[in-house]
Chain A
Amino acid sequence: MPEAVSALKGVSHTGFATVAEAGLTGMIQIRADLASPRLAAVLAERGLAVPEQRKVVTGGGRRLAWMSPDELLLFCSYDEAPVLAGDLTAEMGGEHALIVNVSDMRAVFTITGAKRDEVLMKLCPVDFATLPEMELRRTRAAQTGVALWRSGPEEITLICFRSVAGYMMGLLETASRKGGEIF
């Protein structure tokens, strides 16, 4: 198969924090009744629980994020996504659900460093001081929609649509430029 390339081919910048495009990431959109026992079983098979409202859970090397009352986003390896989306669809049987590979639709960024919050404080109307670990917040960064969560020690992961990846990196690079530290 021809080689796939992410929107920004993994470019990164280091200012007072490091901002990087994370490269190819598998993503599967799941729209379903989140209370469905069938869905729970299908996910449990892969070591995943249905996340609580706004939470991100991990299991089996994958992450699963709550996007809305009837939507989850499953993060996996880029290569496995097409098959996994098909498997999940099949395993849901006839139950009403929409499960689709959306790995190419978005760009994934990481913002790392002790001052990572200060980068995003400049872009998102979010109270980062009260944002818990592994809680997904869907919001906007300047003029474009994003979702973000605290994905690890001193790390925030952010996703946005692929077409605005360049805009997003421009925002992140500008906001993290040295001299722009807030505190």
Chain B
Amino acid sequence: MLTLTCPCCGVTAEETELTYGHEAHLKRFGPGSTDAEFEDYLFNRKNPKGVHFERWRHSYGCGKWFLAARSTVTLEVYGTYSAQTTEPPAELIAKIKEKCPGWEGWQ
């Protein structure tokens, strides 16, 4: 069972206090988008073996959503950060690159 530190309230919570919210940094496509764009937004998800960016909600805690970078293999958590961003923080990316030399990047 995972533990994640909520960047909104500072509590290190266990998985039972959290709700998983699937892939982070999706770009919303609404009316006016092409079928391909919309279907990609709605249905296609990354499934990496390794570094993954995902959404979590501290549902039994402060109620806030946050984002996490986590290895799907070792379950190492590289960092958690605010949900109010469209891309991972630069220092987190640098940290992951250092830990995972072969990493292809978040996009």
A and B together in one complex: yes
Please list the residues of chain A having a beta carbon within 8 angstroms of any beta carbon in chain B: 53-54, 67-69, 71, 125, 137-140, 145
Number of interface residues of B (CB under 8 A): 13
Cβ–Cβ < 8 Å partners of B63 in chain A: 68, 71, 138
A165 CB, min distance to chain B CBs, angstroms: 18
* Other contacts beyond A53-B9, A138-B63: 14, CB < 8 A: A54-B10, A54-B11, A68-B8, A68-B9, A69-B62, A69-B64, A125-B13, A125-B14, A138-B9, A138-B60, A138-B61, A138-B62, A139-B17, A145-B60
Does B85 lie at the interface of the complex (its beta carbon under 8 Å from any beta carbon of A)?
A: no
Looking at chain B's contact residues, the main secondary structure is: loop
Q: List 16 A-B contacts (CB under 8 A).
A: A53-B9, A53-B10, A67-B62, A68-B8, A69-B9, A69-B62, A69-B64, A125-B13, A125-B14, A125-B16, A125-B17, A137-B11, A138-B9, A138-B11, A138-B63, A145-B60
How far is it, in angstroms, between the C-alpha of A71 and the C-alpha of B58 when the chains are bound? Answer: 14
